Amino acid sequence: MMRKHVKHGVSRVANQIVVRSDQYRTWTMADGNVWIDVPGLQRRQKIAIPLNTTVAPTGTLRLILRQGRVEVHYAIEATDLRETRPCGTIAIGIDKGYTEVLTDSDGVHHGDDLGTILRGESDYLMVKNARRAKIRSIADKAREIGDEAKADRIKKNNLGGVKRRRRQARFEPRVRTLTFTAVHSLIDKANHVIAEDLTRTFTSRKKLGRNTNRRLAAWTKGVTAEALHSVSERRGSALTLVNAAYTSQVAPCCRILGERAGERLHCTRCGEEWQADHAAAINVLERYGDPDISLWTPYTRVRQILQERADRLRTRLPVQDSSPSGRRANHPTRATTLKEAVFSQDAENAREQRSGPVG
């Protein structure tokens, strides 16, 4: 999957090494501080590094040289960080949003500020990247006419990454904190979270292109997935991943495919207006324990199942709306809108192709 979707991974890391657990030694000095020694470039010569801690690192280390200081990074068991804050008592469905981190199946938003933060950063980056592109083209032109000195000067002074990385290093923790806080507040009320598998929906980097907004949104999706896994593990709540195909399009009131208009989802049968995120969260919750739709059911089959269920409901249940106009609208002519006509035609074709004629 990685080879197919993420092409040309490039590492610009040049300031760190990884030290295996059997290649360093730790000891404690009289003042209580820990030192480690790691292999140097000279044979049998080790380099001793004093740490500002009294707890010795264990396992594989990553040493990062940053502004003249050595940072020692190492992994610790998540179980050692177990939280004591109690979980809630209900099962809850969630939908990932972009104006907020999550919407749950009660219609409550968690992490409201996400949209503002993302929009601010996205707007900033768009202007900044455009200006950098302009400067880069000046440098390229200089190189073309043989003015190497000018091109190098621009590259060094105007197209560096120090400030950009510094800003990123401030931005990313803000989003992460917001996301983790949102997931914690969710687990304050639930001990079982039902969610769509946010890591499964790969979008190729090529398709994201230069659209900063979409790239940021895709990144926050990964952060949310990480937060759900990590917080569930630490607080001992359950996390179930379900198939999310069409969950944002089904109106929970009548279980038919509604009409989506921006943030709203309109039920074409009873006329109810849903907030799309809220409806999606309810549908995700209902996918848990759905006998026909598993995590691996292809989306074409999911659409077919939904259509079959809607058809069954339509023939068995009397029409609720008794107004003349309502009755006319609900008359089983199958196709009331163009969208629905195309849709049921597709389902018909799929049925024929996949399983032959249905009796």
Q: How many residues bind Zn ion (CB under 5 A)?
A: 7
Which residue, 34 or 285, has its beta carbon nearer to Zn ion? 285
Which residue, 182 or 256, has its beta carbon nearer to Zn ion? 256
Quick check: 122 and 216 in contact, CB under 8 A?
A: yes
Rounded (10°) CA dihedral 254, 258, 261, 262: 80
| Torsions phi, psi for 109 (to 5 deg) | -90, 140
Closest approach of Cβ 258 to Zn ion, in Å? 7
| Residues of span 224-253 touching Zn ion by CB under 5 A | 251, 253
Closest approach of Cβ 259 to Zn ion, in Å? 11
Closest approach of Cβ 105 to Zn ion, in Å? 17
Which residue, 126 or 310, has its beta carbon nearer to Zn ion? 310
Residue 105 Cα distances to 153, 189, 278, angstroms = 56, 12, 6
Name the token pair of 71: 């940072």
Say how far apart CA 197 and CA 244 lie, in whole Å.
8
Closest approach of Cβ 108 to Zn ion, in Å? 22
Closest approach of Cβ 339 to Zn ion, in Å? 16
Which residue, 222 or 271, has its beta carbon nearer to Zn ion? 271
Residue 254 sits in the site that holds Zn ion (CB under 5 A): yes
Angle at CA of residue 190, ends 201 and 196, nearest 5°: 10
Residue 265 sits in the site that holds Zn ion (CB under 5 A): no
Which residue, 182 or 257, has its beta carbon nearer to Zn ion? 257
Q: From start to end of 227-287, where are the E strands?
A: 238-242, 250-251, 256-257, 259-261, 264-266, 273-275
Segment contacting Zn ion (CB under 5 A): 33-41, 44-52, 138-146, 264-272?
Answer: 264-272
Residue 108 sits in the site that holds Zn ion (CB under 5 A): no
Closest approach of Cβ 249 to Zn ion, in Å? 13
Closest approach of Cβ 320 to Zn ion, in Å? 9
Residue 270 sits in the site that holds Zn ion (CB under 5 A): yes
Q: How many CB atoms lie within 10 A of CB 150?
A: 15
**DSSP 8-state symbol, 254:** T
Helix orientation angle between 162-189 and 114-144, rounded to the nearest 10 degrees:
160
Which residue, 38 or 270, has its beta carbon nearer to Zn ion? 270
Which residue, 151 or 265, has its beta carbon nearer to Zn ion? 265
Residue 267 sits in the site that holds Zn ion (CB under 5 A): yes
Residue 310 sits in the site that holds Zn ion (CB under 5 A): no
| Residues of span 60-89 touching Zn ion by CB under 5 A | none
Closest approach of Cβ 107 to Zn ion, in Å? 16
Which residue, 184 or 266, has its beta carbon nearer to Zn ion? 266
Residue 216's nearest CA partner among 299, 294, 122 is 122
Say how far apart CA 54 and CA 29 lie, in whole Å.
9
Q: CB neighbours of 301 closer than 8 A, spacing ≥ 6?
A: 354
Which residue, 111 or 252, has its beta carbon nearer to Zn ion? 252
Closest approach of Cβ 276 to Zn ion, in Å? 14
Segment contacting Zn ion (CB under 5 A): 17-25, 43-51, 188-196, 259-267?
Answer: 259-267
Q: Is 74 helix (H, G, I), strand (E, B) or coil?
A: strand
Say how far apart CA 273 and CA 276 lie, in whole Å.
9
Residues within the interface to Zn ion (CB under 5 A): 251, 253-254, 267, 269-270, 272
